[in-house]
A and B are shown apart, each in its own frame.
Chain A
Amino acid sequence: MKNVRIWFKKDYECRYISHLDLNRCMLRALHKSKLPVWHTEGFNPHPFATFPLPLSLGFRGVNECMDVKLENDDYPFEKIISKLNECLPKGIKVFNVTEPLMKSGKIAFAKFSINLSCDKINTSKIAEKLSEFLYLDKIEVEKKSKKGLKTVDIKQGIKSAKIEEKFDFVTLNVVLSAGSSDNVNPNLIVSAFEEYLQLPVYADITRLDLYNSDMELFR
């Protein structure tokens, strides 16, 4: 038995499916591919797969991963890539398979690229407002928790931010706290920015990479 980490991109149509749907999609592809992955035991056996950090509905992901257990230790990784890609919808593409070097609990940061556009104001105005917004002492948002709504300051969860003005949108590259505690969803930043602008914006969000607490690439 060998643990392997399967790396994939989630984009195009598949950007619009939830984590649960992605999970179902992956299990079906694993089943269809007949790869020697370990199945759960019991009444309803299915391939055992875990996702180190789920991706929200609507986000693109270029460096996403899923962990499975291989029953055949010598099974070639290239074959996993090609077989899975045959069984996946075109919005999900496997591009690498590795042996995991870090445990999923080590994830502490995630890097996103957020493309912002707004029908009402031009890009330089967006960029200007955005930099004002990021200099605020506090960015307070309402966050839903099990105990109901609570107000949290997400400012301290923004590790770094860089604004780039493009032709018809503004790109905000941010590194945010991620993982099971202190996770900051970039949607929170977008809605806080909308609140600040008092205008609706369209945000096209891509998760680029995951990191551990020392800002080493999650592998």
Chain B
Amino acid sequence: MIPKEVEKLLLKVQKPGRYVGGELNEVIKDKDNIDVRFAFCFPDTYEVGMSHLGMKILYSQFNSKDYIWCERVFAPWVDMEKEMIENNIPLYALESGDPVSDFDFIGFTLQYELSYTNMLNMLKLSGVPIKSCDRHNLTQIVVAGGPCACNPEPIAEFVDLFFIGEGEEVDLEVIDLFRKCRDEAKSKSEFLQMCSQIEGVYVPSLYDVAYNDDGTIKSFTPKNNAPSVVHKRLIKDMNTSFYPDNFVVPLIEIVHDRAVQEIFRGCIRGCRFCQAGFIYRPVREKSPETINAQCRALCENTGYDEVSLSSLSSSDYSQIVPLLEKINEWSKEEKVSISLPSLRVDGFTDEIMDKIKTVRKSGLTFAPEAGSQRLRDVINKNVLENELISTCETAFNGGWTTVKLYFMIGLPTETIEDVEAIVKLGQAVVDTYYKCTNRPKGRSVKVTVSASSFVPKPFTPFQWEPQDTIEQLHEKQSHIKECITTKKIQFNYHDADTSFLEAVFARGDRKLCKVMELACEKGFHFDGWNDCFSLEKWLELFDECGIDPSFYANRRRSFDEILPWDHIDYGVNKSYLITECKKAYEDKTTPHCRLKCNNCGAAKYGEGVCFEKRKNMV
């Protein structure tokens, strides 16, 4: 329901459909019969937030309880934000149109470090005090989860509690505790202390941090019985865990406008730069029967004619071909097409290709990540050049003419030869096209080479690594440009300035809260968008706060330094990460989970790939 005052603004802004709700399958409840109101906030635009699977899962799950009404809130784009401020309209939730400040819980999902300013800005637009210590009552509880919660420290002063790991179970436990505490008229601090006893909940205000003279952390001390280490939560049985049979179907076009079906969590590969590959361990699959049934229900209930099978490295699903066969039994008849957005170079087989191209032919994207074999071994990508070439042959002979290749620059140990190898690999793919006898006749090939800048992330073997400076990254980008001699290769690269800021916040500590607070005061928002981001302004802010951002981005940490996230446990031992880091320096690879268990620590959960029978085992 749109607040009346908003209606007059809607015709003045771009895409007013972002701000109105009213979609098919949105959940409307009678607020008088509701016990807990949860504002699920996505700190980006409607189109981005509505594409996010985690929000769809939790929205449906919360609303499946009759005592909770979960509503959606997105960051208004700059034009709408301006109108709302000028007309004194606070940020409101789409379902009821009620202001966010009315809610018991204000929950954020943190997908990306550069959305932190949007989170604070959304609180500000709601008229809710941004700092946890300024919100005194047992209402407007600000909670956050998602991958960035793995290092919550840069935003520790703003969020009352973080959900560490997967949210499906722990969120509800916290909500139930909240109802109890409210009934018993407990204070907010009593509630937070009780929450800290729930596994998977991190309450930052219950910890004191002391620093050394050089700015590194000296100690991290829990108070009031809070645990010294917070362990992540994880769903043990993916077949019985909650999955929506229904999505809110947007009225306007969003980024990923299709049904999304999760097929497994985690990744067996262990690429050393990839945070997701470590924090979601161990791999836990859904059965093909579960996936097929959920997929079909989703398509029936939403009317989508496309479903995307979602996971990290989807071709690693152990029963991918039987699964595609099962889905194909009905999908052709119902005119539904299937897409597999995350395919590995070595997972694109003729069989898979035949099954996914039946209805629609989408572009193909592969991520070799590094140009040279040596560097691919360093990052443990475990993809060989000839695998990429033969995959491209399969694709070209199957009628594709465009291929996107994703790379990273600034990886640890990278040399100028490694950078040049990116172009060589792109050229080799172009040459492959012209060697393919079954290639589409009379058509040229287009190879898009994309280079993003490496950002070292917590809980990866590269968490101690310095990021290349912006100057070094610029040099590498222009070197690649100079090396490309054919128009058949198109080169894209990611802005190094945003990668730098991302690196600062990814491995930041609580000292950065001061910077975040000032950024919010000065109206920073949408830092992930080129329209709004300015490194210059950020550098001024850091300067004003007396903080050197390169301390976080470009400094090499020693293995014995206390890291800001050391009190959080994602199941992978720190000693394992150290071993992996050392192996990287020796160009040594590590076999994936299905070939051999490398004792990372994730087996302690007693589930998933750690307990599968390996083929080479007798």
Contact = CB atoms under 8 A, between A and B. Distances in A.
A17 B24 contact: no
A58 B11 contact: yes
Contact of A46 (B10, B16, B305): B305
B249 interface: yes
A13 B20 contact: yes
Interface in B1-56: 2, 8, 10-11, 16-17, 19-24
Given A17-B251, A21-B253, A28 B360 contact: no
A29 B301 CA distance: 10
Interface string B240-252: 0000000001011
Contact of B251 (A31, A87, A89, A202): A89
Contacts of B19: 16
B303 A87 contact: yes
A57 B16 contact: yes
A24 B252 CA distance: 8
A81 B251 CA distance: 20
A137 B335 CA distance: 56
A37 B10 CA distance: 35
Nearest to A200: B12
B359 interface: yes
Contact of A28 (B16, B17, B21, B303): B303
Given A24-B253, A28-B249, A29-B303, A44 B359 contact: yes
A91 interface: yes
Contacts of A25: 251
Contacts of A45: 335, 359
Contact-size category for B:
20 to 34
A13 B302 contact: no
A24 B304 CA distance: 10
Contact-size category for A:
20 to 34
A45 B304 CA distance: 13
Contacts of B604: none
A12 interface: yes
B475 interface: no
Given A43-B359, A46-B305, A58-B16, A88 B24 contact: yes
A21 B17 contact: yes
A32 B300 contact: yes
A39 interface: yes
B335 A31 contact: yes
B84 to A, nearest CB: 16
B110 to A, nearest CB: 29
Contact of A21 (B10, B21, B252): B252
B150 to A, nearest CB: 37
Interface string B467-487: 000000000000000000000
Nearest to A34: B334
B335 A13 contact: no
A14 B22 contact: yes
B336 to A, nearest CB: 9
Contacts of B65: none
Contacts of A46: 305, 335
B361 interface: yes
Contacts of B304: 28, 31
Contact of B361 (A14, A17, A43, A91): A43
B360 A31 contact: no
Contacts of A2: none
A218 B147 CA distance: 56
Interface in A133-161: none
Contacts of A88: 24
Interface of B: 2, 8, 10-11, 16-17, 19-24, 249, 251-253, 257, 300-305, 335, 337, 359-361
Given A16-B10, A33-B303, A91-B251, 16 more contacts: A14-B22, A16-B251, A17-B17, A20-B253, A21-B17, A28-B303, A29-B24, A31-B304, A32-B302, A44-B337, A44-B359, A44-B360, A58-B10, A58-B11, A89-B22, A89-B251
5 contacts: A29-B303, A32-B300, A32-B301, A45-B359, A202-B8
What are the nearest 5 A-B pairs in CB distance? A13-B22, A32-B303, A28-B303, A16-B16, A13-B20
